[in-house]
Amino acid sequence: MRIEIVVFDGFDDLDAFGPHEVFSHASKRLDGWTSTLVGVDAPGTVTSAHCVVMTVSEVLGEPDVVVVPGGGWFVEGAGARAVADHGVLPRRLVELADRGTIVASVCTGAMILAAAGLTAGRPAVTHPSAMDALEESGALVRRQDRVVDDGDLVTGGGVTSGIDLALHLVAREADPGTARGVAAHMVYPPQVDLGAPTPA
């Protein structure tokens, strides 16, 4: 299971690093699992919303799961809004969805998915500040849900919900026991149901 988390100037730190930590811990327990932070269309330096400067050496490829963080949706020319307006990532997400990649988002990353047309007519969630905008885009917004799973489209609400989204995907794609083990290692009480224990 190759997981790629897309980062860009202005991405919200926890939207990306929370899921990355979950998936990284899971990869130590699961054969063939990897989690990588990637650029949108070129390697290089990326500065997060909270001024963490990092270098990404890989670009978005053809993962089994792609996770899109949010950040800065209501700031013109910055963060998620700039990425959506630029159009490159939305087009790539459509291509990936068409080939069977699980597309996931955290926080206002759902608005990038909306720009790609991937949430139209489908249940989804985003940060509370963008719920109306997501609904106006045609999504069936589930305002009370922390994580919304619609099969090949999985969305998380605001910021810390990215940890729960990642734990949910580990439980779904691997097993609940691994997800609970990762949560315990992170000393994080899951805010979503991780399912029944795997039978012995």
Instruction: Determine, yes or no, domain membership for 73.
Output: yes
CATH number, domain with residue 178: 3.40.50.880
User: What pLDDT is attached to residue 181?
Assistant: 97
| Number of structural domains in the chain | 1
User: What pLDDT is attached to residue 197?
Assistant: 61
Strand partners, 152: none
User: What pLDDT is attached to residue 200?
Assistant: 43
Instruction: Determine, yes or no, domain membership for 196.
Output: no
Instruction: Determine, yes or no, domain membership for 128.
Output: yes
Instruction: Determine, yes or no, domain membership for 193.
Output: no
Q: What pTM did the predictor assign?
A: 0.96
User: What pLDDT is attached to residue 72?
Assistant: 85
H, E, C per residue of the chain = CEEEEECCCCCCHHHHHHHHHHHHHHHCCCCCCEEEEEECCCCEEEECCCCCEEEECCECCCCCEEEECCCCCCCCCCHHHHHHHHCHHHHHHHHHHHCCCEEEEECCHHHHHHHCCCCCCCEECCCHHHHHHHHHCCCEECCCCCEEECCCEEEECCCCHHHHHHHHHHHHHCCHHHHHHHHHHCCCCCCCCCCCCCCC
Instruction: Determine, yes or no, domain membership for 148.
Output: yes
Domain ranges, residue 57: 2-185
Instruction: Determine, yes or no, domain membership for 17.
Output: yes
Signed CA dihedral, 151, 152, 155, 159: sign only: positive
User: What pLDDT is attached to residue 78?
Assistant: 84
Q: Is 70 exposed, middle or buried (0-12, 13-18, 19+ CB in 10 A)?
A: buried
Instruction: Determine, yes or no, domain membership for 192.
Output: no
Strand partners, 103: 66, 153
- The one-digit pLDDT tens for each residue of the chain (200 residues) are 999 999 999 999 999 999 999 999 999 999 999 999 999 999 999 999 999 999 999 999 999 999 999 998 888 888 999 999 999 999 999 999 999 999 999 999 999 999 999 999 999 999 999 999 999 999 999 999 999 999 999 999 988 999 999 999 999 999 999 999 999 999 999 999 998 665 44
Contact 184, 29 (CB under 8 A): no
User: What pLDDT is attached to residue 92?
Assistant: 98
Instruction: Determine, yes or no, domain membership for 200.
Output: no
Per-position b or e across 80-113, b if 16+ CB within 10 A of its CB: bbbbbeeeebbebbeebbeeebbbbbbbbbbbbb
